[in-house]
Structures are given as structure tokens and as C-alpha cells.
Amino acid sequence: MTLDWTERFQGTAALPRAVRNRLVDVARIIHMDEGAQVFGPANVPDSLFFLYEGRIRVSQSSESGREITLYRVDAGESCVLTTACMLAEEAYNAEGVAESEITAVVLPKPAFDRLVAEEEAFRKFVFAAYSKRLIDLLRVVDDVAFGHMDVRLAERLLALTGDLKEISATHQQLASELGTAREVVSRVLSDFQKREMIAQSRGRIALIDKNALKILAGSK
Amino acid sequence: MTLDWTERFQGTAALPRAVRNRLVDVARIIHMDEGAQVFGPANVPDSLFFLYEGRIRVSQSSESGREITLYRVDAGESCVLTTACMLAEEAYNAEGVAESEITAVVLPKPAFDRLVAEEEAFRKFVFAAYSKRLIDLLRVVDDVAFGHMDVRLAERLLALTGDLKEISATHQQLASELGTAREVVSRVLSDFQKREMIAQSRGRIALIDKNALKILAGSK
DNA sequence: CACGTTAGGTGACAATGTCACTGAAGAAGT
DNA sequence: ACTTCTTCAGTGACATTGTCACCTAACGTG
């Protein structure tokens, strides 16, 4: 895979050809299967990570076993949390898990340092990536601290479903998205069902009234 | 104030003299009073911010009027959230308020870009700052999503009190620290009082059994 | 000292989290 | 097909936290 993968990356500006070529020179391509842990407390990376294909879910989990999704790394984005983890001595409990088969570009730290030093476009890209994640986390804090469960769940359902009509997701998975307990998701979903906004079957949820969900997601 | 203020800054490495001198050349010193809004939604900065003296409290507030402290910027640290805000087109609702009189070094964006490009020590400092804030926010998410109120409040009381015996803080202020409601703080505090861990008077809380608080803060 | 302002207390109720348990749906083996 | 096992979902009881309305106490000011 020697193609121009850097075209995929969305920085504040597209990376110019010269930078791309330099990246291709020093980068290593890796593949991972769905479900693989890309990074985590027991798996601290010493390299920088740029996702070419697939999607990574970054989550945080509590001692008690609950879990919350912090954000997702999409194709074309980098995962700066790994850099943060490298620098931080503090313990953290975030992990990244491949949601699909992924292809990533791995840049060893020295190469990263050199590129950051020498290529402005690359630098901008990295700073933009950091900023995006900070903003993502602000949103998570806002949601968890101030948001209502029904609204948050409606948002997630819409986001996860996209243009489709239904998704396959267990109540437990949705609970892990939102950082709550399965029972809470069950309660809210059965309320949605009573109000005829969704239909449920084992492991599947069909959105039969997206409009109502959107109205709900935008309220409170 | 032409002193070597960069000595104050704690990066991964202390900034070497050459960098300091360059910084002093391009920087502007500003002062603000306690209570002043350093940055916020209505006050997006176009410069980088390095705190020399004082302390800034960075918080996020909800539509409904509740508020939560995200982290504090201490003397010697920079406030990267401002950079993130500059880059982000998204709406955010974080703000920074001076908790004391502050002195800060303001670096216009072009100067910042030049320094980042040319000085490795400065670059490291900035990356470390970003990483620290990311980790800070992870901690906030963990607290809010999974933490228990009594534990969180005990932690805050200990942190805010430091080596002293008591602090002056209203229940509302503590609620704003933790992103909860005043009534909740009142309830937990009266429980602490009943258990003789603290003593309360209007606007003041005395920690009479720090040990018990520490035990509580470390549990759950 | 009267008054207004702010801090704090209280009770009722709603929303969410926790626990223990039950039943239902699918998967796998015979 | 039938049994068995595992995973998923539903339920009721209770604890914690959030919300609302209202009250009382402490302080500051004229």
C-alpha cells in the first residue's frame, strides 16, 4: 500500500504532496481485526497513530465495570490520546478498540518529532487533531453532567443509525455508549416503544419515528 | 516586568535561555483582576495564553444554569483550551475566570506559530500542556460518570483546603465545582457534619477530621 | 434596628443507579 | 425436534441524586 494515503487526512489544510511523500517514507502500515485493542492501559503505544481505514471507539471504564464512549476515531483522523498517554505519567483508563477491521499508519516517535518540526502542514494537522479531541471531551462532560437520559439516548440512536432504519445493538452496548446501566437503557427504550418511536426485537432497534426522536434529541 | 518569567513554566523540559529570550521579545504582559473572564464563548481569544501569576478556573455551564469546574490553570501553565477554541468552529461553552489577580503572558498567534516551528523546547512544552488537559478532562469524565457524590465532595474539600484547617466556600460554590445542585451539596455536607468530619458556619467549612475524609475520598 | 440580600434547610417528588431475580430468544449439541 | 446453555431483556424494590417550592437564618446596609 504505497498509495497517497495522506489524502485521506483532514487537517486544517490538506497535507501538501511533499509532506505526504515524507510521511510515506517513514511510516509503517498496520492492520488489526475488529475487536482488537488498539491501545489501552496495558498497551501504551510508543508511536503515533493515523487511521486510514475503519473506525476506533475510544472509551473509558470504571472500576465497577461501567463504561462510556468518549469519541470515535474515523478514517482520516489521528488518535492524539495515545500521544497524551505517552507523555502523561498519570494513570488513565481509556482504551481504543477497533470497531471494524482497521488499517492505520504508524509513525515512530522520532519521525513524528521530525515531521512536526519541519512541516508546518503536518503541525497544523496535529494541533487540529488535539483541539478536536478536547472539544469532543467538553461535549462528553456536558452530556454526562447536565444531559438527560432520554435525550442522550435519542441522540445516540439517531447517530448510530445514520441513514438506515434500524441498528443492531444490545441494551448493554447502548448503556456503554452513554456511561449508564443496562436497566436504565431498558427503561427509557420501553418508554420510547410505548410512545411508538421505536420497535424492539432481541439485539435490534428499529427507528419508526425518527422525527419524534429528533425533536426529543433537541429538547431540554 | 522583563524578568525571566519563562523559568516559571513547567514543560517536559525547562525552556532554555535562548527560547526564553525569544519569548520575552514577542510577548505582551497583561494583568487582570479577580473575577475577570479570561476567555469564554463571547470572548474568543486570538492569542496564546501563559499564566505567570495567579490561578484561572476553567468551567463549563449548562443552559439550565448549573456549572462544573473542568480544571484550573496554575502559574506556570498555559491554557490550551483557548487554542482549541480558536481552531474549533463548533460552539462550546467553557469559560475561564480569574480566581485571583493574574499576570499572564500573551503571545500573538503568528509569534506562537514561529516559536513552535523553530524551538523544540517550546514545542514540547505546548504538547505537554495539551496532553495534561486531555488527561484532566478524562478525570472529569470519570468522576462525573462514575463517581459518587460523597466521595467527590470529600476530595474537593481536601483539595481546596490544602494544608489549612478550613475554607470559605458556599454550598453553591462547591456545587459549581462538582457540577451538581446546591441542595445536594447541603445534604452531603450535613451528613458529614453528623458524622463529625466537618463543622459548618455560614460560608465556611472546617475540616475537623481530615483523616476520615481521606478514607472516604479513597473509597468506592 | 429595620430591611433587603444571600446562604442554607426541608419536604415532596422525579430521574437515575443498583441489586436480585425472572423469563425469553437464540445457539449449540444430541 | 428436543434439550440445554448462554445471552438478552424485563421487573420490582430500594438508594442516590436532581428538581422544585418554599422557608428560615445570618449578614450587610442605611
Distance of alpha carbon B174 from alpha carbon A187, whole angstroms: 32
pLDDT tens, residue by residue, A193-203: 999 999 999 99
Same domain, A160 and A140: no
Same domain, A21 and A52: yes
DSSP for A68-86, written as a single string: EEEEEEETT-B-HHHHHHH
The answer on pLDDT for B52 being more than 70 is yes
Same domain, B66 and B170: no
Count of structural domains within chain A: 2
pLDDT the model gives residue A172: 98
pLDDT the model gives residue A220: 67
Give the domain range for residue A12.
5-145
Indicate the pLDDT class of residue B14, thresholds 50, 70 and 90. low
Whether A12 and B87 lie within 8 Å, measured CB to CB: yes
pLDDT tens, residue by residue, B140-157: 999 999 999 999 999 999
**Lowest-confidence range among A185-189, B35-39, B84-88?**
B84-88
Distance of alpha carbon B50 from alpha carbon B80, whole angstroms: 9
* Protein residue closest via CA to C1' of C24: A202
Distance of alpha carbon A82 from alpha carbon B114, whole angstroms: 26
Same domain, B122 and B161: no
Q: Does B5 or A56 have the greater pLDDT score?
A: A56
**CATH number, position A153:** 1.10.10.10
Instruction: Out of A109, A128, A145, pick the residue that ends a domain.
Output: A145
Q: How far is the CA of A153 from the C1' of C26 (A)?
A: 26
Same domain, A123 and A196: no
pLDDT tens, residue by residue, A15-61: 667 776 777 777 888 999 999 999 988 888 778 888 989 999 999 99
pLDDT the model gives residue B169: 97
Same domain, A51 and A154: no
Q: Which nucleotide is nearest to B179 (CA to C1')?
A: D18
Q: Does A126 or B137 have the greater pLDDT score?
A: B137
Instruction: Out of B123, B145, B167, pick the residue that ends a domain.
Output: B145
Q: How far is the CA of B40 from the C1' of C4 (A)?
A: 32
Residue A49 — φ and ψ, nearest 5°? -125, 120
Distance of alpha carbon B53 from alpha carbon A29, whole angstroms: 46
Q: Does A78 or B194 have the greater pLDDT score?
A: B194
pLDDT the model gives residue A9: 55
Distance of alpha carbon A40 from alpha carbon A15, whole angstroms: 29
Q: Which nucleotide is nearest to A204 (CA to C1')?
A: D8
Per-residue pLDDT averaged across B14-39, rounded? Answer: 80
Contact A137, B137 (CB under 8 A): yes
Nearest Cα residue in chain A from B137: A137
Q: How far is the CA of A163 from the C1' of D4 (A)?
A: 40
Chain A touched by B18 (CB under 8 Å):
no
Same domain, B156 and B171: yes
Contact A98, A6 (CB under 8 A): no
C-alpha closest to that of B120 among B6, B25, B8, B16: B16
Q: Which nucleotide is nearest to B187 (CA to C1')?
A: C9
The answer on pLDDT for B184 being more than 90 is yes
- List B residues 126-185 in contact with A (Cβ-Cβ < 8 A): 127-128, 130-135, 137-138, 140-142, 144-146, 179
Distance of alpha carbon B107 from alpha carbon B104, whole angstroms: 10
Distance of alpha carbon B102 from alpha carbon B30, whole angstroms: 8
Same domain, A156 and A59: no
Distance of alpha carbon A122 from alpha carbon A15, whole angstroms: 7
The x, y and z cell numbers of residue B184, run together, are 445536594
Indicate the pLDDT class of residue A71, thresholds 50, 70 and 90. very high
pLDDT the model gives residue A67: 97
The answer on pLDDT for B160 being more than 60 is yes
Q: How far is the CA of A114 from the C1' of D21 (A)?
A: 62
pLDDT the model gives residue B147: 97
C-alpha closest to that of B169 among B57, B88, B83: B57
Residue B31 — φ and ψ, nearest 5°? -125, 145
Nearest Cα residue in chain B from A139: B92
Same domain, B68 and B121: yes
Same domain, B35 and B74: yes
Nearest Cα residue in chain A from B131: A84
The answer on pLDDT for A131 being more than 80 is yes
Detail the protein residues whose CB sits closer than 7 A to any atom belonging to strand D.
Answer: A 170-172, 182-183, 186-187, 189-190, 200, 202-203; B 64, 66, 148-150, 179-181, 183-184, 187-188, 201-202
Distance of alpha carbon B28 from alpha carbon A161, whole angstroms: 50
Same domain, A169 and A211: yes
Across A163-172, B9-18, B79-88, B116-125, the highest mean pLDDT is recorded for A163-172
Whether B130 and A134 lie within 8 Å, measured CB to CB: yes
Indicate the pLDDT class of residue B186, thresholds 50, 70 and 90. very high
pLDDT tens, residue by residue, A2-20: 334 455 554 434 566 777 6
**CATH number, position A67:** 2.60.120.10
Same domain, A74 and A129: yes
Whether B70 and A138 lie within 8 Å, measured CB to CB: yes
C-alpha torsion angle, residues A14, A15, A17, A23 (rounded to 10): -150
Nearest CB among B120, B130, B140 relative to A130 is that of B130
CA distance A196 to chain B (A): 29
Q: Where does residue B136 rank: exposed (0-12), middle (13-18), buried (19+ CB within 10 A)?
A: middle
Instruction: Out of B112, B127, B145, pick the residue that ends a domain.
Output: B145
Q: What is the ipTM of this complex?
A: 0.90
Per-residue pLDDT averaged across A200-214, rounded? Answer: 96
The residues that bridge with A50 in the sheet, in sequence order, are A78, A105
Chain B touched by A44 (CB under 8 Å):
no
pLDDT the model gives residue A124: 87
pLDDT the model gives residue B70: 97
